[in-house]
Amino acid sequence: MLSLIELQCRPWLNGLELLEDLQRNKHTLSTGDKGTDSLLQGGFREGQLTELVGPSSSGKTQFCMQAAASVAENHLGRVLYLDTGNSFSARRIAQFICSSSDATLGQKVMSRISFHTVYDIYTMFDTLQGLEVTLRSQMNVNEYRLRLLVVDSISSLITPILGGSGSQGRALMVAIGYLLKKLAHEHSIAILVTNHTVGAGGEGGKTKPALGETWKSIPHVRLLQSRDHKNSNCTISILKHTSMPSGQTVKTMTRKENQQCL
Amino acid sequence: MGEEEARSWIRGDETAKQMLSRVLKDRAFMLLPPLHRVPLRAGNVVEITGASPSAKTQILIQAAISCILPKTWNGIHYGGLGKLVLFLDLDCRFDVLRLSQMLKHRLLQANRLGNGAWWQLEESNVKSCKAAQEKSKTVFDEELYVSCMKRFLYVRCYDSLELLSSLKTLHYRIRQQEACGSQVGVLMIDSIGAFHWTDRLSSSLALETHNRKSLSLTNVVETIVQELKKLLQVHSLVVLATKATIYEEKYPALENNRKFSSNDDYSGNAAIKAQQPLIREFMPSSWQVIF
């Protein structure tokens, strides 16, 4: 009887095997911006859930699109972009791709980015579970495997169901967080989600990330983005990271249309 | 005949001194930095609670390193316990890179202390650290690093069912490890309250199944507590569990109709901003009595 349970439950790994798996399967993906790469010591790590928090119009969607373009181009990986607020723009992504001068190559890169709109959390569950089944049933690892999953504004999916003292909303939030982490770890995908900020109660002027206290322990890495409207500079700082101290910041500039690639 | 039996029954098996020496040997005090001020003995369960970014997993990693390091190796004193660490990751956020960074740092530090006098290290801490580090770049023992990393066992669980199945097979695995000669020192559970919300939801949505017990929150926690108690009776290990607070800190002026079960030492003046935030207890009572 015990052996049956043993077959079901997960195997115990030792520290060395964990390290090997990390070095072999989980690479670092560049975010498309040199400053952020140096802040994160390389970029997004596959297998981790990165959250980008910022007030509205602070450049979160631009960051997401830049990251998607960079992964599709430099790392030869597929990108799945789940948009909840109709803010995706294919033209802007094309601007981020450096080799858009070469039409066929640019087209190939663009074809590696797939895009879905998701408007509520149940569709999200469906999409993610369908993705899990597809990933698990892929026998051969073709050269364009899925490397990055972007969910632009997961907070707009979750905030409508959170509320009151019932546990359904929070349970769904935790469930989707765990589903994302499981996808990330088992299939070596980097996941980027965005979140907005709300005012901290009673203090006036200070803001904190939305989605509450329970969500704080779900992402691996939390980044805070703020924008200085006078000179369109963005500042990204680390709120929380699994292996780096928080509080480090870096200033980035949004790329204009005709700027040269780095 | 009966008299003989009664006499042997009254006589007792061992004296108090013998019993004390046996217990102290089997269940000795463990001093794990950073918890070395807390005298832990095998059989103790420790819960570490705090709000989200408050270094709880960091404490666990540090304690794990003190546990997996050997006492001495190649003449250098490391001061560890040399026992296995079982890490049950319910949060699924453990970063093995952090563990390996800290282990390497500890090994380097101990190497420098072993080769040079310890007061040189003190001096270099006072003066610029960089210069001293560059001078004494000793290579740490690769073999020792590998053997330490092998003593760290890790499993992650994505929901309560997996957690329960891991706990039930834990006893068997510990027996397997002991057969290979290594002893288990600490069982660490990262974030015991991780499945709190999903279990609450499943208990409220439970269908009527007549034969099996449904997977509700109280059932799950009771089973976890039962399994832990069984483990603690049979093996001599310490359980360290972290718990993240899932209710936000509310200042006492705003909070009036909920029951508190934790300490709160506010001065009584609600206008003072620097007050201790209240930590609400959310685990069911069966967990709270295990300490």
Cβ contact A14–B100 (<8 Å): no
Measured in angstroms, the CA of A171 and the nearest CA of chain B are apart by 5
Cβ contact B93–A220 (<8 Å): yes
How high is the pLDDT of residue A180? 92
How high is the pLDDT of residue A192? 92
Question: Any residues with CB less than 8 A from the CB of B144 and at least 6 apart, and which?
Answer: B70, B73, B74, B107
Q: Is residue B11 part of a domain?
A: no
Is B100 touching A (CB cutoff 8 A)? yes
pLDDT of B86 over the 80 cut: yes
Q: Is A150 exposed, middle or buried (0-12, 13-18, 19+ CB in 10 A)?
A: buried
How high is the pLDDT of residue B131? 45
Is B149 touching A (CB cutoff 8 A)? yes
Nearest CA in chain A to B167: A9
Please name the amino acid found at residue A229.
Answer: H
Cβ contact A214–B246 (<8 Å): yes
Pick the residue of B58, B176, B201, B203 with the most A CBs within 10 A to test the interface with A by mutation.
Answer: B201
- Which pTM value belongs to this model? 0.79
Asked if B121 and B112 touch (Cβ cutoff 8 Å), the reply is yes
- Residue whose C-alpha is closest to residue A31's, from A205, A250, A259: A250
Tell me the mean pLDDT in the region B142-150. Answer: 85
Measured in angstroms, the CA of B270 and the nearest CA of chain A are apart by 12
| CB-closest option in A9, A15, A213 to B162 | A9
Residues of chain A with pLDDT under 70: 1-9, 98-101, 139-143, 164-166, 200-205, 253-262
Domain that holds residue B230: 23-244
Q: Is residue B237 part of a domain?
A: yes
- The structural domains of chain A, with segments of one domain joined by +, span 2-10+26-222+241-261
Q: Is residue B86 part of a domain?
A: yes
How many CB atoms lie under 10 A from the CB of residue A72? 25
Is B268 touching A (CB cutoff 8 A)? no
| CB-closest option in A5, A172, A243 to B97 | A243
Residues of B in contact with A175 (CB under 8 A): 198
Nearest CA in chain A to B171: A2
Residue holding tokens 């990271």?
A241
Going by DSSP bridges, is the β-strand pair A197-199/A190-195 parallel, antiparallel, or unpaired? unpaired
How many CB atoms lie under 10 A from the CB of residue B43? 15
Which tokens is B12 given?
A: 């007792």
Q: Tell me the pLDDT band of B207, cut-offs 50, 70 and 90.
A: low
Residue A245 to residue A221: CA distance in whole angstroms: 11
ipTM confidence: 0.82
Residue holding tokens 């967080």?
A177
CATH of domain A2-10+26-222+241-261: 3.40.50.300
Is B108 touching A (CB cutoff 8 A)? no
Using alpha carbons, list the distances in angstroms from residue B55 to A217, A246, B99, B101, B244.
Answer: 12, 11, 14, 16, 11
Cβ contact A243–B165 (<8 Å): no
Report which of residues B130 and A190 the model is more confident about: A190
pLDDT in tens, B162-177: 888 888 888 888 888 8
Measured in angstroms, the CA of B131 and the nearest CA of chain A are apart by 23
Residues of B in contact with A214 (CB under 8 A): 197, 246
| CB-closest option in B98, B169, B248 to A243 | B98
Asked if B236 and B250 touch (Cβ cutoff 8 Å), the reply is no
How high is the pLDDT of residue A191? 92
| CB-closest option in A2, A16, A242 to B150 | A16
Q: How many domains does chain B have?
A: 1
Report which of residues B146 and B32 the model is more confident about: B146
Report which of residues B64 and B121 the model is more confident about: B64
How many CB atoms lie under 10 A from the CB of residue B162? 18
Q: Is residue B119 part of a domain?
A: yes
Cβ contact B246–A240 (<8 Å): no
Which domain CATH number covers B130? 3.40.50.300
Which tokens is B55 given?
A: 């270094």
DSSP 3-state of A160: coil
Q: Is residue B97 part of a domain?
A: yes
Is B218 touching A (CB cutoff 8 A)? no
Q: What is the dihedral of CA B14, B178, B221, B41, to 10 degrees?
A: 50
Q: Is residue B1 part of a domain?
A: no
- Residue whose C-alpha is closest to residue A161's, from A145, A176, A139: A176
Cβ contact B155–A12 (<8 Å): yes
Q: Tell me the pLDDT band of B257, cut-offs 50, 70 and 90.
A: very low
DSSP 3-state of B231: helix
Cβ contact B152–A15 (<8 Å): yes
CA-based R_g, chain A, Å: 19
| CB-closest option in A178, A213, A217 to B247 | A213
Measured in angstroms, the CA of B152 and the nearest CA of chain A are apart by 5
Is B230 touching A (CB cutoff 8 A)? no
Is B58 touching A (CB cutoff 8 A)? no
Residue holding tokens 């279990």?
B199
Helices A60-74 and A103-111 cross at an angle (nearest 10°) of 110
Phi-psi region of A42 (alpha: psi -120 to 50; beta: other; left: phi over 0): left
pLDDT in tens, B233-248: 888 788 888 887 766 5
pLDDT of B264 over the 70 cut: no
How high is the pLDDT of residue B197? 80
Q: Which residues of A fall below an 8 Å CB-CB distance to B?
A: 2, 5-6, 8-16, 18-19, 22, 167-168, 170-175, 178, 181-182, 185, 201-202, 212-214, 216-217, 220, 239-240, 242-243, 246
Residue B164 to residue B230: CA distance in whole angstroms: 13
Please name the amino acid found at residue B42.
Answer: A
Query: Which DSSP string corresponds to B95-160?
Result: -HHHHHHHHHHHHHHHHHHHHS-HHHHHHHHHS-HHHHHHHT-PPP-HHHHHHHHHTEEEEE-SSH
Report which of residues B72 and B270 the model is more confident about: B72
Going by DSSP bridges, is the β-strand pair A190-195/A146-152 parallel, antiparallel, or unpaired? parallel
Residues of B in contact with A174 (CB under 8 A): 194-195, 197-198
Cβ contact A240–B53 (<8 Å): yes
Between A253-262, B66-75, B257-266, the lowest mean confidence (pLDDT) is in B257-266
Query: Which DSSP string corresponds to A36-85?
Result: HHHHTTTSEETT-EEEEE--TTSSHHHHHHHHHHHHHHHS--EEEEEESS
Measured in angstroms, the CA of B138 and the nearest CA of chain A are apart by 22
Nearest CA in chain A to B193: A214
Which tokens is B190 given?
A: 């990262």
Q: What is the mean pLDDT of chain B?
A: 70
Helices B217-234 and B160-179 cross at an angle (nearest 10°) of 10
Nearest CA in chain A to B65: A15
